[in-house]
Amino acid sequence: MPTALLAALDPDQQAVARATRGRVVVVAAAGSGKTRAIAHRIAYAVATGDQAAEKGLALSFTTRAAGELRGRLSQLGVNELQTATFHSAALRQLSYFWPRVLGGPAWKIQSSKSALIEQAARSAGLDLSVAQRRLVAGEIEWGKSSGLDPVGYVATSRADLEVPKSDVAEVWSRYQDLLTTSNQIDFEDVLSLTLGMFQQRPDVVDEVRRRYNWFTVDEFQDVTPLQQALLNQWLGEREELCVVGDPAQTIYSFAGAAPNFLTNFSQVHPDATIVELARTYRCAPSIVSAANSLLHSEIEKHRTGLLMTSQVQTDGELTTAGFTSDVEEASAIAIKIRALLDEGVDARTIAVLVRLNALTVALERAFDQLSVPYVMRGATKFFDRREVKQVLLALRAESYSHQEQSLTDVVTEAATRFGWSAHPGSQSAEAKSTWEALSALVALARDVESADPAASIVDFFEEVARLTLAQHEPVAEAVTIATIHAAKGLEWDTVFLPGLSETVMPYFMASTEAEVAEERRLMYVAMTRAKTSLHLSWPASRSGQSLAPSRFLGELGAEVTAPVAQSRVQARAMAPEMRLLNCRSCGKGLISALETSVMRCRTCPAPNVEARVAMLKAWRDDYAARTELLPWLVLTEASMTAMAEVAPKTQRGLLHIQGMTELKFEEFGQELLDVISQFGPIPEQ
């Protein structure tokens, strides 16, 4: 019976499900069950006979979201209705009608703009850097999504960035010519060509309208002018449209998203049914209270968005902390997560969300030090970044020519040649990101030299190799490190949100009220990914630059106090069960990578393990020869020294050695344990 479809819904979700005809707008807060509500609406409309399943089209913005809705509908017995993204639906129609409308050979969808944009820029006499070409690509995507051509783009009020609008338009025009001559289209052209086809061929659009006569659009706050124009063509004069969204989660205006299509929906269509889903079943009351405080002034000012009410029974956990540096901050997060994992918490229920890719380096190092498994989503691994690779290649080429210089000076000189300077100055977003990545590389060299003043470039590359290997090991059960944009639509039990300083959140490029408002919404999205525990933090410095806490921390009512350097005792107190973080000689807590590698403080005397290291080197060189691997890819000097000092007897003990991974243990772990079992006693000093 159709009414059975309503039984599992709350009163507001039932109101959505019952609104089966006409224009409907659903304003849904984070975690309010909007996907559940629209799936039941579709199923209820089909069950009551108000709509025919085969005549419906449900649109989402990601393949994952479309797949989730398709799965829910299948469980409810609706399999005939089509679910798709805007682009996949348009591509299917464009491909079907292309032979009839234009004929000729099929076009190829371009996978990347970079090569053609570089060619277009050269033909225009412009010498654009990689960062500038990325900027131009982003502007072309924004312009096309906004329904503009090169001439229309120049006429907009959009401010000149690092590349003048006139130059962007010239490159855009030449880029489009190159696409045409090579019989290619890009991702945005899929929508614009479909729209143009409908506008020029009434017979084609009539055929599509006979195929689909009712529509559902999820995440409507992210719709672009081009997508709205295409939706209008699909819909025609009909009223059968349900749109769902949350103005508070509008975070893609840089890509052309126009939330006014959602916020003005009821004004444009006065007869529309309006339903609000304010109950959140995701976030605990403490998290909801803070998120509401963050958005309260904006909601009052613009009359858009919803204040949530939590339906979660437990209050949850919300903490705020300041640290003297991003390294201290990352270390504290790693220690906390390591303690949670040791308590049996599933790593997959934990996430660390960052505003910028460059912020991941300190986290990656800290996680590696404490053997915290992690995966990256929407962020490039530090050593995979182009600018980092360039500096490392330059250092390798010159590794034997800097014997008289300090390690930090050598790395600093190389980074400087690729655009690094002591202070970032006024830069574009891309240039700032590059500067931050190179600063992190310089800071890594400084850390290695601080731990060992005699450290050489070889020692530096050993640390790089150790970190690189750790980062690239696949793990099934792991903590997620993700950019906030990539985390939208996802949720975890525990979320850490570090780096909440001015210039990062809000980003330093956000200068207008509208831009700052979008940064505020971005923080709201990050906060509402957490179900039960949310940990907010900020560093007072990064790469030698002083930072102030984000203004958003004050807006959400958090207490912002002066950051305090984390002592070894404090770090130890955060994870009392972490046995292997103690120095084997003096018992002090261990924090740095070099200390945890050998399980002792730098100030404690090193035991004489030369004979043990020699045994490990002999085995390593033999294994490398057998497998045709470079020796340092098998084991680094630091890993062998740690094994020699600690002499682990079990798989678990071996995996606590820095540089050892599950994959390595599967390949040669037992051989290593056999070698270690043959160790003799350490000679007395």
pLDDT digits (tens, 9 = 90+) for 491-540: 999 999 999 998 888 887 777 788 888 899 899 999 999 999 999 999 98
Q: What is the pLDDT of residues 7-36, one digit of tens each?
A: 888 999 999 999 999 999 999 988 898 899
What is the rounded radius of gyration, in angstroms, for the C-alpha atoms of the chain?
Answer: 28
Q: Does residue 662 sit in helix, strand or coil?
A: helix
Q: Does residue 464 sit in helix, strand or coil?
A: helix
CB 316 within 8 A of CB 532: yes
Check whether 308 has a pLDDT greater than 70: yes
Q: What is the pLDDT of residues 216-226, one digit of tens each?
A: 999 888 888 88
Say how far apart CA 537 and CA 381 lie, in whole Å. 22
pLDDT of residue 598: 63
Q: What is the pLDDT of residues 440-452, one digit of tens each?
A: 788 778 777 766 6
pLDDT of residue 399: 53
Say how far apart CA 535 and CA 557 lie, in whole Å. 14
Q: What is the pLDDT of residues 153-190, one digit of tens each?
A: 888 867 667 788 888 899 999 999 998 888 888 888 88
Q: What would the mean pLDDT of 604-633 be, rounded to a whole number?
A: 83
Say how far apart CA 43 and CA 3 lie, in whole Å. 11
pLDDT of residue 364: 81
pLDDT band per the 50, 70, 90 thresholds, residue 596: low
pLDDT of residue 570: 46
Check whether 365 has a pLDDT greater than 90: no
Ordered strands of the 350-354 beta sheet: 317-323, 530-539, 492-497, 350-354, 479-483, 374-377
What is the amino acid identity at position 84?
Answer: A
pLDDT band per the 50, 70, 90 thresholds, residue 472: very low
Q: What is the pLDDT of residues 316-339, one digit of tens each?
A: 899 999 988 888 899 899 999 999
Least confident of 230-234, 355-359, 572-576, 670-674: 572-576
Q: What is the pLDDT of residues 133-153, one digit of tens each?
A: 888 888 888 888 888 889 988
Least confident of 61-65, 325-329, 583-587: 583-587
Give Cβ neighbours of residue 358 (< 8 Å, ≥ 6 apart). Answer: 433, 436, 437, 440
Q: What would the mean pLDDT of 658-668 be, rounded to a whole number?
A: 73
Q: What percent of the chain has pLDDT over 90?
A: 23
At residue 376's C-alpha, the angle toward residues 633 and 384, to 5°, is 50
Average pLDDT over the chain, rounded to whole?
Answer: 81
pLDDT of residue 163: 82
Check whether 3 has a pLDDT greater than 90: no
Say how far apart CA 465 and CA 494 lie, in whole Å. 31
553, 5, 34, 67: which is closest to 282 by C-alpha?
34
CB 497 within 8 A of CB 527: yes
Strands 541-542 and 545-546, by their bridges, are: antiparallel
Say how far apart CA 177 and CA 154 lie, in whole Å. 18
DSSP 371-383: T--EEEESS--GG
367, 454, 271: which is closest to 661 by C-alpha?
367
Q: First and final CA of the chain: distance in angstroms?
A: 84
Least confident of 370-384, 411-425, 463-477: 463-477
pLDDT band per the 50, 70, 90 thresholds, residue 489: confident
pLDDT band per the 50, 70, 90 thresholds, residue 578: very low
Q: What is the pLDDT of residues 542-554, one digit of tens each?
A: 766 788 899 998 8
pLDDT of residue 277: 92
Instruction: Report the predicted TM-score, pTM, of the whole model to 2 decimal places.
Output: 0.68
pLDDT of residue 619: 92
Q: Which residues pair with 217 in a beta bridge?
A: 59, 243
CB 182 within 8 A of CB 189: no
Say how far apart CA 219 and CA 125 lie, in whole Å. 41
Check whether 486 has a pLDDT greater than 80: yes
Element (H, E) at 480: strand 479-483
104, 103, 113, 151: which is closest to 134 by C-alpha?
113
pLDDT band per the 50, 70, 90 thresholds, residue 387: confident
Rounded to whole angstroms, the maximal C-alpha distance in the chain is 92
Give Cβ neighbours of residue 164 (< 8 Å, ≥ 6 apart). Answer: none
At residue 332's C-alpha, the angle toward residues 336 and 473, to 5°, is 75
pLDDT of residue 475: 42
pLDDT of residue 661: 67
Within 13 Å, how many C-alpha atoms sit on residue 13's CB side? 20
Say how far apart CA 333 and CA 406 lie, in whole Å. 31
Place of tokens 């990256």: 376
Torsion of CA 268, 272, 276, 282, to 10 degrees: -90
Q: What would the mean pLDDT of 186-199 be, rounded to a whole number?
A: 88
Check whether 409 has a pLDDT greater than 90: no
